[in-house]
Amino acid sequence: MSILTDVWRWFANLDHWSGSDGIPVRLQEHLHLSIESVLIGALIALPIGIALGHFGRFGNLAINISNVGRALPSFAILVIAFQIFGLGDLPIVIALVALAIPPMVTNTYVAMREVDPDVRDAARGMGYRQLAQLLRIELPLAVPLIMAGIRLSAVQVVATATLGALIAGGGFGRYIIDGLAQQDYTKLVAGALLVAALAFSTEISLSMLERILVPRGIRLLKQGASAGQGNPSHARSI
């Protein structure tokens, strides 16, 4: 119990809410690293997944990317990136981008593949050209699964950004790594709670965004048919 009281006092101490090692600065660092990495990852992964899914070729490639991604420990990617690029945010962002890409590619690929072939035929029959069919028919239908992939990636990136502290990065991981090094269990547990809270809020806020972004017609469709859980790669690697 005493640890919990200590942690409570740690959070109540105003010193921990200001300065370069304060919670607001660490939060900002953590978010900055994570958002940057997820955005770069999405810019790379979504076009690949959309193209692979739309043309329906190289499906094995999309699945294999995800398998290799799951097997590669993110801790190893982080340390290798550090050995190549040295100190700074760059190796952390590179490792996080590498981590963010596989779930997004796989989910996007599956999302595009799961578009009903009849719907594709209907679009073609109505005279939609390739690009219009992709942008106005397939993509909106694929949004729920694509968003699920982005959410999965984002939660993992937020979790792994914590490890950035091992290679002298900022973020909430500092409290955990420093707490361990200084045997300061209060700081350690406070950092753990902050990381857990941030991962949880990421999950919640992206689920809400997902709900907003899904077109209304598809939501109605889902309710009516109570579509099965299409969550192909819900596995963590951190």
Partner 1 sequence: MAYHVFLAYIDPWINWDWLSTHIPLVVAALEQHLELTAIAVGGGLAISLPLALIAHRRPRFRLPLLTTAGIFYTIPSIALFALLIPYTGLTGTTAEIPLIGYNVLILVRNILVGLDAVPPEVRDAADGMGYRPTARLLRIELPLALPSIFAGLRVATVSTIGIITITAVIGLGGLGQLIYKGLIENFHTPLVVATVLSVVLAFVADIGLAGAQRIAVPWARAESR
Interface ranges with partner 1 (CB under 8 A): 3, 67-68, 70-76, 79-80, 82-83, 155, 158-160, 162-163, 166-167, 173, 176-177, 179-180, 185, 188-189, 191-193, 195-196, 199-200, 203, 235-238
Which residues make Cβ contacts (< 8 Å) with residue 218, sequence separation at least 6? 140, 141, 143, 144
Question: Could you tell me the two tokens for 233?
Answer: 């790669």
Closest by Cα among 233, 238, 237 to 62: 233
Nearer Cβ to partner 1, position 123 or 171? 171
With helix as H, strand as E and coil as C, how does 74-127 read? HHHHHHHHHHHHCCCHHHHHHHHHHHHHHHHHHHHHHHHHCCCHHHHHHHHHCC
CB 107 within 8 A of CB 149: yes
Nearer Cβ to partner 1, position 80 or 213? 80
Nearer Cβ to partner 1, position 52 or 152? 152
Nearer Cβ to partner 1, position 142 or 158? 158
> Could you tell me the smallest distance in angstroms from the CB atom of residue 193 to partner 1?
7
> Could you tell me the smallest distance in angstroms from the CB atom of residue 20 to partner 1?
22
> Could you tell me the smallest distance in angstroms from the CB atom of residue 129 to partner 1?
39
> Could you tell me the smallest distance in angstroms from the CB atom of residue 221 to partner 1?
22
Single-letter code of the amino acid located at 121? D
> Could you tell me the smallest distance in angstroms from the CB atom of residue 204 to partner 1?
9
